[in-house]
Structure 1
């Protein structure tokens, strides 16, 4: 997983070796299986391995076919994933060179300008030479990859809007002095932040598909395990990676199989009605909550290698999809999921995890 095309690369901590943080790992995997989920917002303490986990997931993914030397990582055959220029060349019958490339994880620095993110048009060159001179930005590099924004809650709201618009539409459009250029920008958007430094406005938060909460591991034995693993990895990366090679390959294959299986999935009409009933009962604005929950439940079912979505599948993802959509007041804290679980158990007629725990304690 750490080497590609005969080129030595920096070793990346293996995804399957990461201890705990199940909620974050599941949300990331589901977004990779189906990017239509709309990304994930990860909120939690500092030093909990957010960037390590995201980088590990990008490294886990298989190589993708791209048009060689194309700045937008255009797909060689799918029109929705290629630039207008490549599409035009294909229509003209031109032979397009194809290469394989590792899925990229692009880090968006906190002080990034809009030009750095979206790209710039060289007006002088456009006017003097009559060509659309475009300098691609980070959105171009992130096409068909993962765009990671740490401390997204400290980013300018306008820039967050731009990122979310591109993630939702799959395209980035740059306009200047009457000249307009667009390119594909299909990426998994991952934002992270520390709640102590402020939350995102509810309107922006709602546009992230899923919301994952992570906390510092409290159990001393697990903390020791995490520290020891990191120490072993730093001491001898290749030996550590070899130990997890089979698990990494198996997980990679599960993700690839799930992506293929996604088109064959079926979710019963009654289950879809129940999902919408939960959203309605929780007074979730708009239909984004309904849509994302459907997508996430299907992605989980595909990941499990099945074609029929069950109530359990929905139960595992619905809190991740809805908890951040309940806030109406910017000063109100995000519910940990209790309200969502309660509404889900009533509509679907199943016991909450709390009810189950109480029942077990009485035995």
Structure 2
């Protein structure tokens, strides 16, 4: 099945950036996408999974263990050291709204228990999503106990199963993406806080953008393979840039001045606890790596705060999630200082030799900002994505279930 190209999605620049930051650094903690129906939320999540670097796994391991650093407690282990791994694409696992707890975390393998008389564990969706993407559509409609299990596993990177005399622990590190329509109900504040970043999306009111969305969607439905081929170069450039940014993350430095800036911003917005500070710091590091910098700057803090704070700030019960952009700018200007007088080379707009173009896409200027062979949208903005304000962009025109416009 051909997936709609990530680079071909029109607009949705904040969402693209949030997804990319999580792809660059899983420590960011996932993305919650809030928006009206028909805004391509599902389309862009499925498209991102195709851009993630392939993973090396131990052959035959149902828990996707890395042959270079296998899990000592893997239920399929212990794995012999030095066993050559096999590469496979990063998994995209979708959690249905009606899934049971057994389907999510795993359960006793009843078939083997009856036929062989042995106790064996049947992995669930959390095991299948390890080192990949776990996508939860309509996360606000899941039962609370399932959401608790899901977010605990995402926070710990481990799934614990205790049932039917089976006691199992296995690694479960994945990029968590949830989507929801606020009209159908909200998540509890405790659960909202467990998502690293949040993005509000809405359909564009610009007739030009809406026309381009429909044009591309019709072209994809007419000949998906040919449409994907036209975007192959932009997709390849995006995948290479994500891989380069991933390798750069461990070397990115977060100066004390920027750390104090993050703490000041989080305190001013009266967020509860310290998770906001940690998420903002990790997102700023990922943004610096995405931009090709070795030192976090105020621009990285700004981009991270815009995505990590809206769902965490204190607000009245009937206030919509959002961020006071003017207050954010005042706080950043007040605490900017001199960015630690770091080497000007660290401020190259798109990094080092890994990034040949100026907008984050392919050599022809197309790429993840929506430009490309179909004459898509303009570029610019944070991370190479154009930004028209909260909820900007319009997507592919998909209504979230793959049925098109």
Unaligned runs of 5+ in 1: 1-9, 358-363
Q: What are the Cα deviations for residues 160-210 of structure 1, in whole angstroms up to 9, with x where unaligned? A: 110000011111111014531011111011011011111101111011000
Distance 1:235 1:124, change over 3 A: closer
1:316 to 303, 316, 330: 303
Within 5 Å, give how 1:162-173 maps onto structure 2.
162-173=149-160
2:14 to 10, 17, 23: 23
**Greater relative CO (CA pairs within 8 A, separation 6+):** 2
2:217 to 200, 207, 230: 230
2:318 to 323, 326, 332: 332
Give the Cα–Cα distance (whole angstroms) in 2 for the partners of residues 104 and 79 of structure 1: 18
Distance 1:177 1:107, change over 3 A: closer
**Number of the residue aligned with 2:58:** 67
What's the RMSD between the two structures over aligned residues?
2.4
SS in structure 2 at match of 1:88: coil
1:78 to 69, 73, 84: 69
Which structure shows the bigger proportion of residues in helix conformation?
1
Give the Cα–Cα distance (whole angstroms) in 1 for the partners of residues 321 and 109 of structure 2: 47
Give the Cα–Cα distance (whole angstroms) in 2 for the partners of residues 170 and 64 of structure 1: 17
**Number of the residue aligned with 1:245:** 232
Give the Cα–Cα distance (whole angstroms) in 2 for the partners of residues 134 and 297 of structure 1: 39
Give the Cα–Cα distance (whole angstroms) in 2 for the partners of residues 223 and 143 of structure 1: 36
Greater Cα shift, 342-351 or 38-47: 342-351
Within 5 Å, give how 1:26-45 maps onto structure 2.
26-45=17-36
**Number of the residue aligned with 2:204:** 217
Q: Tell me how far 1:305 sits from its aligned partner.
A: 1.1
Q: Tell me how far 1:271 sits from its aligned partner.
A: 1.0
Give the Cα–Cα distance (whole angstroms) in 1 for the partners of residues 315 and 211 of structure 2: 40
Give the Cα–Cα distance (whole angstroms) in 1 for the partners of residues 219 and 42 of structure 2: 19
Greater Cα shift, 273-282 or 292-301: 273-282
Distance 1:347 1:13, change over 3 A: closer
**Number of the residue aligned with 1:175:** 162
Distance 1:26 1:155, change over 3 A: same
**Number of the residue aligned with 2:140:** 153
Within 5 Å, give how 1:69-218 maps onto structure 2.
69-79=60-70, 84-85=74-75, 88-90=78-80, 93=81, 96-122=83-109, 131-218=118-205
Distance 1:31 1:232, change over 3 A: same
Q: Tell me how far 1:315 sits from its aligned partner.
A: 0.8
Q: Tell me how far 1:333 sits from its aligned partner.
A: 3.4
Where do 4+ consecutive residues of structure 1 move more than 4 Å? 122-132
Aligned pairs, number: 338
Do residues 346 (structure 1) and 331 (structure 2) align?
yes
Q: Tell me how far 1:131 sits from its aligned partner.
A: 4.9
TM-score (norm. length: structure 1): 0.87
Q: Is the 8 A contact 2:154 2:172 kept in 1?
A: yes
SS in structure 2 at match of 1:12: coil
SS in structure 2 at match of 1:290: helix
Within 5 Å, give how 1:299-310 maps onto structure 2.
299-310=286-297
Q: What are the Cα deviations for residues 219-240 of structure 1, in whole angstroms up to 9, with x where unaligned? A: 1111110101011111122221
TM-score (norm. length: structure 2): 0.78
**Number of the residue aligned with 2:394:** none
Unaligned runs of 5+ in 2: 337-380, 382-387, 389-405
